[in-house]
């Protein structure tokens, strides 16, 4: 008999047959991509009690200000850093974590609102180091190297992907342009602040700028997207071979080094400075380690090319996807390069990923490589991100390592460890409320909190729709009033007049 609470992490030995894993997940209550059956009614919410203790299921009231100090009590807490706490208390105030620990040793302020989370699990908000939500477009077909592109100029804050992401427990994303170029532009790190304050109270966010994670100077933080292998090859002006791809990248870095030297020489003589070049400015940020390279790469030989270029020019890099990293794990470990791994749970995809193995996370972990997971959404639906950790544990990764790969290791990769990725005093109050163990297929994300504000609540009908799918879940904006029938009629959803 299968233990249903641990179906993914410790199933029958089927991980050599990914399709069977999908079948088990679907039968076990997980969301099947392409599922067309009508969603069940959302679970009934529990109204607030008149006592100072309220139920964790109480829906978010957008018309009321959120309490300044809130204590979540009686919860099992997975802080990621440190041991799990069977009966714990998490206290938040003004968007920050002010206390976390066992219930019997964590005092609660007298005026704090207490939220009873008995039977629930609290853990840090999930960090996705590689996402494409927001309907993003980056570089175009004019050249294979376009570092001046800023992906945030192409993000739609109304995209339904953001609502899907919070329903999967994601709170921090690295939104990137695609991998069809050797260098497709600058990525942006965002917090999913989908609910923001206004004079009338909390409202839905309508600005991508409010999602930016900024540095000490107020600038949006992000990296540089690069790629090799077949994605970035094509007819001229794109390279036609792997060797030509590497040659073009070397030439670009040399131009950036020369540009930086001219800027340095003209530091005390501005009239001698070279003409401003946005592409080379971004490359100088890479050379100065202000912007990390997020590098799409699959095959073992392509991975080694990235390591070679990194050693040659000294830039910081994270290896993404790494389908064949298991072949060169010692080399990656020796280079001290972190990996952002995608865990695919179904067959198919590109030829470069033909030898992808679920054991990659375990192999890299044992070799001493820092491992994070990512969705590459839509490749993995953001709503199913927890599954990545479960499948990795199923294939040999440690539970602790897999949970870190969803949270703190991603935060380190994005230079955000001081702010997010674990439940620690002083960090942002980004956390999720789970119905059960994070590695169980039966577990649901019930709530998602960002900066101390609840941005997803499964007990709310609209949020539930984004969590499970169905008509309307993919719409960026719901049609309204007189225009609804016109907007939907072309899709075959015209309502009857009866």
Residue 88 CB contacts under 8 Å (≥ 6 apart), including other chains? 75, 76, 77, 100, 101, 102, 103, 106, 122
pLDDT in tens, 318-328: 999 999 999 99
Q: What is the DSSP string of 306-321?
A: HHHHHHHH---EEEEE
pLDDT in tens, 339-372: 999 998 776 678 899 999 999 999 999 999 999 9
Measured in degrees and rounded to the nearest 5, phi and psi for residue 93 equal -155, 130
Predicted structure pTM score:
0.85
> Per-residue confidence at 55, pLDDT binned at 50, 70, 90?
confident
- For tokens 């609209």, the residue is 462
Query: Does 224 score more than 60 pLDDT?
Result: yes
Mean pLDDT of the residues in the chain: 86
Candidate from 136-145, 319-328, 414-423 with smallest mean pLDDT:
136-145
Task: Count CB atoms within 10 A of the CB of residue 157.
Answer: 18
- Residues 454 and 207: their CA atoms lie apart, in Å, by 18
- For tokens 């209550």, the residue is 29
- Residues 455 and 149: their CA atoms lie apart, in Å, by 30
- Residues 27 and 40: their CA atoms lie apart, in Å, by 15
Query: What's the topology of domain 126-422?
Result: TIM Barrel (3.20.20)
Q: Would you say how long the chain is, in residues?
A: 498
3-state DSSP assignment of residue 114: strand
> Per-residue confidence at 472, pLDDT binned at 50, 70, 90?
confident
The better pLDDT of the pair 8, 436 is held by 436
Direct distance between the N- and C-terminal alpha carbons of the chain, in angstroms, rounded to an integer: 50
CATH superfamily of the 53-124+439-468 domain: Urease, subunit C, domain 1 (2.30.40.10)
Amino acid 22: pLDDT: 37
Compute, in degrees rounded to 10, the torsion defined by CA atoms 256, 258, 263, 265.
Answer: 160
- The arithmetic mean of pLDDT across residues 156-166, rounded, is 94
Nearest to 49 by CA among 58, 61, 59, 36: 58
Candidate from 247-251, 384-388, 482-486 with smallest mean pLDDT:
482-486
The first and second tokens of residue 238, run together, are 């794109």
- The arithmetic mean of pLDDT across residues 219-236, rounded, is 96
Listed in order, strand segments (DSSP E) in 215-266 are 224-227
Pairing of strands 445-450, 453-457: antiparallel
- Domain residues of the chain, as ranges? 53-124+439-468, 126-422
Amino acid 17: pLDDT: 37
């Amino acid at each position: 008999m299968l233990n249903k609470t641990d179906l993914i992490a410790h199933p029958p030995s089927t991980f050599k047959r990914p399709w069977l894993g999908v079948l088990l997940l679907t039968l076990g209550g997980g969301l099947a991509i392409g599922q067309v059956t009508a969603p069940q009614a959302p679970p009934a919410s529990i109204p607030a009690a008149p006592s100072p203790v309220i139920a964790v299921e109480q829906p978010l009231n957008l018309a009321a200000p959120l309490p300044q100090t809130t204590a979540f009590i009686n919860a099992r807490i997975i802080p990621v850093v440190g041991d799990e706490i069977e009966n714990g208390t998490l206290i938040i105030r003004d968007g920050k974590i002010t206390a976390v620990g066992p219930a019997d040793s964590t005092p609660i302020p007298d005026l704090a609102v207490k939220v009873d989370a008995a039977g629930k699990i609290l853990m840090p908000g999930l960090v996705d180091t590689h996402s494409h939500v927001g309907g993003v477009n980056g570089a175009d077909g004019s050249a294979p190297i376009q570092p001046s592109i800023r992906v945030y100029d192409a993000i739609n804050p109304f995209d339904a992907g953001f609502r899907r992401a919070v329903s999967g427990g994601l709170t921090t994303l690295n939104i990137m342009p695609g991998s069809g170029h050797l260098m497709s532009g600058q990525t942006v790190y965002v917090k999913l602040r989908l609910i923001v304050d206004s004079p009338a109270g909390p409202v839905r966010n309508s600005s991508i700028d409010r999602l930016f994670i900024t540095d000490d100077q107020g600038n949006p933080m992000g990296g540089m997207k690069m790629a090799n292998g077949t994605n970035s090859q094509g007819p001229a002006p794109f390279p036609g071979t792997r060797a030509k791809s590497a040659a073009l990248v070397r030439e670009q870095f040399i131009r950036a080094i020369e540009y930086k030297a001219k800027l340095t020489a003209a530091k005390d003589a501005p009239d001698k400075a070279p003409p401003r070049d946005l592409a080379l400015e971004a490359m100088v940020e890479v050379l100065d380690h202000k912007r990390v390279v997020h590098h799409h790469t699959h095959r073992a030989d392509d991975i080694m090319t990235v390591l070679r270029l990194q050693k040659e020019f000294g830039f910081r890099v994270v290896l993404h996807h790494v389908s064949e990293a298991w072949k060169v794990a010692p080399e990656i470990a020796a280079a001290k390069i972190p990996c952002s791994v995608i865990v695919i749970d179904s067959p198919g995809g590109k030829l470069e990923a033909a030898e992808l193995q679920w054991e990659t996370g375990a192999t890299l972990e044992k070799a001493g490589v820092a491992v994070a997971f990512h969705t590459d959404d839509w490749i993995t639906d953001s709503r199913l991100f927890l599954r990545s950790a479960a499948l990795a544990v199923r294939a040999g990764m440690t539970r602790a390592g897999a949970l870190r790969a969803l949270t703190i290791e991603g935060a380190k990769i994005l230079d955000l460890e001081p702010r997010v990725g674990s439940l620690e005093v002083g960090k942002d109050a980004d956390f999720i409320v789970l119905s059960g163990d994070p590695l169980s297929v039966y577990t649901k994300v019930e709530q998602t909190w960002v900066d101390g504000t609840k941005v997803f609540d499964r007990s709310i009908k609209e949020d539930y729709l984004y969590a499970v799918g169905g008509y309307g879940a993919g719409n960026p904006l719901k049609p309204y009033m007189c225009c609804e029938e016109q907007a939907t009629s072309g899709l075959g959803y015209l309502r009857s007049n009866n």
